[in-house]
Structure 1
């Protein structure tokens, strides 16, 4: 049996391989047999009753003879496994009384058990270098989610979530170590590999953005931020802007203090990279857009204006000063309280807000601008900070 050690992978595609034979999910003739084998291997230290196996293999079926169907499936699985041990009488699935279990005498190298072992070693290790080593070994083993071909099975969902959480901790620990050693390029590499197999973990995306910022690659950080916001929105229907707000502010705080003019702002807003396809958003965003349009219908004679509000420090024209940061907070709070429900605004750079207002005419727009300017001036704390408001009619 020593000559026929099995290598079993359950992360990504399920496979059993040795020198004599191989069983790979994509080439398998019986998914049900793979389910039986994978369940017994994943629970190889546990005796599994016949009733439990029947519930796992046929959860929604009411067979007249479930015990017979199970016996037949076990028989076929044993025949398949015998191919791994030519010339030997090796029983891979044992039946003792009313319970089945994987033969503990078969030498196996199973990825999920090695992965869990390395994660446990890392969590108990106090030496940073050794902890880093254990985590990198665990990282190498995680080739994808646990048994993705059976991801809708309840027992697989539970285990997949468990291993996914372990993997996230593993990657974040690796990033902590590399941050301490200022190896930011290595962080980008590990995060990229991790995202390929674990794409929905926001904390790993944040680590990648932070690495870009540590390298001074602010534009790369911003581009990547927008790409993952679009990915979550378009592919998974998730709006992550609120949970990513902290990292977005970190990016903005390192952006160069370069003002855009009204023409640039209009061009950026008109530039729709996804104009060929329909726009997809989650329900909350859809509801907000609907409500804005509904209110606009009721005011069909109204006009819409784009306002660009820029703060600049008269004492340091090209710098992001502490004074500007504080004044931006004041202006933000003012706009959140003073604007009407159908007005929309956003922070378009670290020292600028863009605002869309709906008014009856140009005089109404001037009234809004005057009110904003007066209320800001009344609350301003630094006289050296100047507010400029540019106006453009949306046509």
Structure 2
């Protein structure tokens, strides 16, 4: 039988009767939503006024907490009345100094369905387990009550649901991969990554599935996205396993093509100004090619390192500031170098620059030019740019 009310708590908090809907995206007091959510989460019991007062006004920062609670409860019931006349009184009862959610109503809650489906899956055989896992995963549309995710009473529950979601997703991904259901696996990974963008396991499965479905270009795009994301957030590169898959994609991504003009067209770069920015893996390859060339021709190549610090020579105060400065510096470097020069982001606050056919003096002049250009463009940004250069020598090939 279809329930009279449908409640969602994953992501956006909503209550719907099939026609009208109330949602925590509406402009209401935070305490109104907190009170309503708490009653529903603890729907299996009556909640004393004292417990609610302690929840809503910790430290007793209100003069008349009981009356203030009554006023707030009236506002909650008024909100619920948007679902039908007297809905507030039907949904929330008061008895012997305690409030509670009317558990006799016919309603569904996504969190309860999620738990029940996972339980069915744990008891099912392998053939049916995957279907249960996928059903549960689809229900997860964001972290538990994510708008109030920092509230102490929500944090622990949110962590529990997220752990169950990731465990179910990991099991489902493994089974989909084993069964060669790559299109479904791609959808699953994108769904998980949407809510958990730093879970590398699902990037691994995503790249593998894209390779299996001959979507090499998309696999390369995903790797570039991962590289940038991990650099910006943590100052690290993707794992060796992810990088190995990426290299495999690059090496095997092209189908046989006999028309050299078509191949040349694919190789041709879109018209751009300034130097060439690339991922660190590409930079390493080009570095090794330049080392080979230097061994053969004897020409000089220099590598420059530019490190961003605060005015005192320490790390910048936070990640947001670091990313803002690094984005601006990337543009300055791109415009300050020749079109044939190459640079990459080496760490959270460092860029590596390759300067072929330069001398020690010239390479230092180039680095100073970049520093001056940045100061000129961003005179009010209190950062220190530390630069160093070193020659790429033919002797490196002998190591």
TM-score band by shorter chain is 0.5 to 0.7
1:38-86 superposed Cα distances (whole Å, 9 cap, x missing partner): 1111221244333332233234761112222112111222343345454
Provide the C-alpha distance between the structure 2 equivalents of 1:239 and 1:301, rounded to a whole number of angstroms: 31
What TM-score results when the alignment is normalised by the length of structure 1?
A: 0.63
Contact 1:7-1:16 at 8 Å conserved across structures = yes
State the partner residue of 2:313.
Answer: none
Q: For residue 62 of structure 2, what is the aligned residue in structure 1?
A: 63
Whether 2:382 is the aligned partner of 1:369: answer: no
* Maintained 8 Å contact 2:12/2:145: yes
1:251 corresponds to:
246
Among 222, 225, 232, the residue aligned to 2:223: 225
Contact kept, 8 Å, 1:145 with 1:198, in 2: the verdict is no
Contact 2:219 2:249 in 1 (8 A): no
Supply the distance in 2 between the matched residues of 1:6 and 1:203 (Cα, whole angstroms). Answer: 37
Secondary structure class of the residue paired with 2:63:
coil
Partner of 2:235: 239
- Structure 2 CA distance for aligned equivalents of residues 238 and 135 of structure 1: 31
Give the Cα–Cα distance (whole angstroms) in 2 for the partners of residues 102 and 229 of structure 1. 47
Q: In the alignment, does 2:200 pair up with 1:202? A: yes
Deviation digits for residues 150-169 of structure 1 (CA, Å, limit 9, x no counterpart): 12212222222222222222
**Aligned-partner Cα distance in 2 for 1:168–1:73:** 37
**Counterpart residue number, 1:145:** 143
| Aligned equivalents of 2:15, 2:98: Cα separation in 1 | 23
Distance 1:172 1:279, change over 3 A: farther
- Give secondary structure in 2 for the equivalent of 1:130: helix
1:211 to 206, 209, 212: 209
Determine the C-alpha separation between the residues in 1 that align with 2:128 and 2:348.
49
Kindly indicate whether the alpha-carbon contact (under 8 Å) linking 1:229 and 1:239 is maintained by their aligned counterparts in 2. Answer: no
Q: Distance in 1 between matches of 2:170 and 2:116?
A: 18
Aligned to 2:333: none
| Residue deviations 1:327-355 (CA, integer Å, cap 9, x gap) | xxxxxxxxxxxxxxx99xxxxxxxxxxxx
Q: Pick from 337, 343, 358 the counterpart of residue 390 of structure 2.
A: 358
Question: Runs ≥4 in structure 1, deviation > 6 angstroms?
Answer: 273-276
How large is the RMSD of aligned CA atoms in angstroms?
A: 4.0
Q: In the alignment, what sits opposite 2:368?
A: none
Query: Where do residues 127-166 of structure 1 align in structure 2 (5 Å cutoff)?
Result: 127-166=125-164
Q: Distance in 2 between matches of 1:206 and 1:162?
A: 24
Residue pairs, 1:45-64, within 5 angstroms: 45-59=44-58, 62-64=61-63
Query: What residue is the counterpart of 2:93 in the other structure?
Result: 94
Q: Deviations over 1:302-321 (max 9, x none)?
A: 858xxxxxxxxxxxxxxxxx
Shift in CA distance, 87/137, structure 1 to aligned 2, threshold 3 Å: same
How far residue 134 of structure 1 moved from its aligned partner, in angstroms, is: 0.9
Distance in 1 between residues matched to 2:86 and 2:100, nearest whole Å: 23
Equivalent residue, structure 2, for 1:270: 275
Cα displacement string for residues 215-243 of structure 1 (whole angstroms, at most 9, x for unaligned residues) = 35444323211112213444xx223525x
> Secondary structure of the residue that 2:68 maps to in structure 1?
helix
Between the two proteins, the alignment pairs up a number of residues equal to 298
Give the TM-score normalised by the residue count of structure 2: 0.63
1:175, CA displacement in angstroms?
A: 1.5
Equivalents in 1 of 2:27, 2:189: separation in Å?
33
SS for the counterpart of 2:22 is strand
Structure 2 gap ranges (5+): 254-267, 279-323, 331-345, 354-359, 365-386
Which runs of 5 or more structure 1 residues have no equivalent in the other structure? 259-263, 294-299, 305-341, 344-356, 360-364, 376-395
C-alpha distance in 2, partners of 1:44/1:193?
A: 30
Question: Aligned residue for 2:312?
Answer: none
Say whether the 8 Å CA contact 1:9–1:111 is kept in structure 2: yes
- Aligned to 2:390, the other structure's residue is in SS state strand
Q: How does 1:318-333 map to 2 (within 5 A)?
A: none
Structure 1 residue 358, shift from structure 2 partner: 0.7
SS of residue paired to 1:256: helix
* Cα separation, 1, equivalents of 2:69 and 2:231: 44
Inter-partner Cα distance in structure 2 for 1:157 and 1:24: 20
Aligned to 1:170, the other structure's residue is in SS state helix
**Which whole-Å CA distance do the structure 1 matches of 2:2 and 2:124 have between them?**
38
Partner of 1:12: 11
Shift of 1:111: 0.8
Structure 1 equivalent of residue 23 of structure 2: 24
CA contact 2:4–2:17 (8 Å) conserved in 1? yes
Distance in 1 separating the partners of 2:231 and 2:33: 35
